[in-house]
Amino acid sequence: GLIGQDVLQPHVYTLDYEAGQLRCNTAGDPVLARGARQPLSVTNGVALISLPQPRGPLHLVPDSGADCLVLFTRPGHPLHALVTPLDLGRSRTVNGQRATRRVLIQSFQIGPARLDDHEGVLMDDPGPDPRMGDGLLPLHLFARVTFDAAAGYLTMEARR
């Protein structure tokens, strides 16, 4: 969280969760060819990836600080994920605590990978800023995540 897109965006870099490293990449680095490549856009310093789902795309902020998948609910915007409510709770954000609903996300497509019955959180209306998309994608779910904002993609390598 201390070093963010404002510093890293001009670089091609990899968050390697298995090795516990942040690595700046060079052309020809073999890590650039691994994993599922997803379109990435950056607007005013906020990165978003668009993940096609059976009920419509989800636009998520790839987030190295999120503990779980967070989906935002907004009036007039349908949620493009099938969820089963589990219980009510509270989540801590940089803006304080908020009421949330813990849910079971029945099926969630991330490139060629699919998460079934994955726990997540629904958070009501995060505010009017559309740059936040439909939620937060926790990057720790992957072995490695490579950002290349200039080329417009994010590559996510599955854990083994």
Q: Considering just the CA atoms, what is the radius of gyration of the chain in Å?
A: 16
Over the range 17-42, which residues count as b (16 or more CB within 10 Å of their CB) and which as e? beeeeebebeeeeeebebbebbebbe
Candidates 57, 78, 56; CA nearest to 48 is 57
- Single pTM value for the model: 0.81
| pLDDT tens digits along 20-33 | 998 888 766 666 66
| pLDDT tens digits along 4-54 | 666 666 678 899 999 999 888 876 666 666 788 899 988 777 889 988 888
| pLDDT tens digits along 86-125 | 888 766 665 667 778 888 888 888 877 788 888 899 887 6
> At which residue do the structure tokens 């995060």 appear?
126
